[in-house]
Amino acid sequence: MDGIKASGIRVVIAENTRMASRLLADALSQNSALEAVVAASSATESLQAISELRPAVVLVSDALDNDPKRGFQLSREIRATWPEVQVVMLLDGCKPEAVVEAFRAGARGVFSRNESLKELAACIAKVSRGEIWARNEHMTFAIEALATTPATSEVDSEALVALSKREREVVDALAEGLSNREIGERMDLSRHTVKNYICRIFEKLGVSTRFELLVALNRRQMSGHRKLAEGHDGPSDLMPTLLAAAEGGIASAQFVVGHMYLYGEGVRRDKVLAYKWLLLAEQADQAFSDASRRARKKLATELLAVQVTEAERMASQWIGNAESLPVSLEPSSVNAAKAASGVA
C-alpha cells in the first residue's frame, strides 16, 4: 500500500489496478483539502487499508479482482463493518443498473470516470459531510427503481412479529438512520453485539443491506396507507420525517416530498404543495435542478395562474423563514430522510 501525506479529508482509493489507483491518488493529492491514500487493487488490501487508516471516504471501483461486480460487494462489506465510512462508487458511464446497484450496495455517491478531478474533489468533500452526491439523472434512476421494486421485497408482518423485542428496537434505530456506534450507545451494547443483531435481523427479514431494509419497511408502510394516496386526509407515518428534513433544507427530501404530493403517494395529492417543494429543490441543489424544473414546468400547465402564484409565494415565504430562523435537524432525522428518499 502506497501513501501520500497531506492534510484534510482522508481518502482510500480502491481502483481496479495498482497503477490506476496510484495515478488517481497523485492527482487528488494536489488538492490541499484532501489526503489521498493509495490502496492496492485487491479488495483484501483495500479492507486492510480502511481498517488501519479509518478514512472519511473510500473511492471504490465497480470492478476489482478481475470481477466486474466485486466493487459492489466491497461497498457492502465496508458499510457493514464501518458504517461511519462513506463510499463513492467509481463507474464507467453510470448506466442506470450500475447506479442503482451502487446505492443498494450502500454508496453515498456515484461518480463517472469521464467527469473532472475538480468535480471528484467536490464529490469527496460533500460525501465526507454525510451528504449525497448524485446527478439528477442518477436520482431519477434510484427513484424509478424504488417505484418498480416488486411487492415480494416487502417485509412480511409475520417476519416482523418474529423479531425479539431487542431486535425490533434495533430495527427502529436503523430506520432512524443511527450508526452502529449510536445504536450501541442508545441500547448499552457493544458494536460487536450490535453487528450480530443486525446480521440476524437481515437474515430473518430477507434483506442484505440497511438500504434494502429501509426500502422494504417504507414500502410496507406506504402500502398500509394506500387509501391516503387515493384522496383521504392525513399524512403517512413516513411524511413527518421527510417534511422535517425538507423544512430543514435537505434538497433530496424536498425533491421527494414534491413528488409525493404530485402523485399522492402516502399523502393527499396537492399540486400546489408539489410545485412549492419542487421549486425549492430546484433552487437548493444543482443535483436536483433539471429534474425538478422539468416536473415543475409540466405541473405549471395543469395549474391555474393563481395557483402557481400561491405556490411561488409559499416557496418565497419558506426561504424568508429559513434565512431568518436557525433551522436545525437531529442527525438521525436527516439520515432517515435521505434513506427514505431512495439513496444509502
Provide, rounded to the nearest whole percent, the portion of the chain with pLDDT above 70: 71
28-53: pLDDT as tens digits:
888 878 887 777 678 888 888 888 88
Which grid cell sits at 216?
422494504
Is the pLDDT at 240 greater than 50? The verdict is yes
pLDDT at 275 over 90: yes
Torsion over CA: 4, 129, 31, 94 (sign): positive
Assigned architecture for domain 151-224: Orthogonal Bundle (1.10)
| pLDDT above 90 (res 88) | yes
pTM confidence score: 0.47
Question: What is the distance between the alpha carbons of residues 102 and 98, in angstroms, rounded to a whole number?
Answer: 6
Strands in 94-212 per DSSP E = 109-112
List 133's β-bridge partners, or say none: 109
Nine-digit cell at 272?
Answer: 400546489
Asked whether residue 65 carries a pLDDT value surpassing 90, the answer given is no
pLDDT at 265: 63
pLDDT at 112 over 60: yes
Tens of pLDDT, residues 124-151 = 988 888 788 877 777 777 666 655 554 4
133 touches 90 (CB < 8 A): no
Query: Averaged over 50-67, what is the pLDDT?
Result: 88
Question: What are the boundaries of each domain within the chain?
Answer: 9-136, 151-224, 226-334
298 pLDDT more than 90: no
Lowest mean pLDDT among 133-147, 263-277, 327-341: 327-341
Query: Of all helices (H) and strands (E), which one includes residue 196?
Result: helix 191-205
Residue 270 has pLDDT above 60, yes or no: yes
For residue 256, the model assigns a pLDDT of 78
- Mean pLDDT value of segment 324-329: 38
> Given a cut of 90, is residue 57 above it in pLDDT?
yes
- What does the pLDDT average to over 267-278? 87
In single-letter form, the type of residue at position 166 comes to: R
Which region among 44-58, 62-76, 148-162, 252-266 has the lowest average model confidence (pLDDT)? Answer: 148-162
Alpha helix (H) residue ranges in 206-342: 210-224, 226-229, 239-247, 251-263, 271-284, 286-300, 305-324, 331-340
**Predicted confidence band of residue 209 (pLDDT cuts 50, 70, 90):** low
Task: Please provide residue 155's backbone torsions phi and psi, each rounded to the nearest 5 degrees.
Answer: -75, 125
Which among 71-80, 240-249, 253-262 has the top mean pLDDT? 71-80
Residue 235 pLDDT class (50, 70, 90 cuts): very low
Is the Cβ–Cβ distance between 59 and 90 less than 8 Å?
yes
Determine the topology of domain 9-136 in CATH: Rossmann fold (3.40.50)
Quote the mean pLDDT of the chain: 75
pLDDT at position 133, please? 84
**Angle in degrees, 0-180, between the axes of helices 331-340 and 210-224, rounded to the nearest 10:** 80
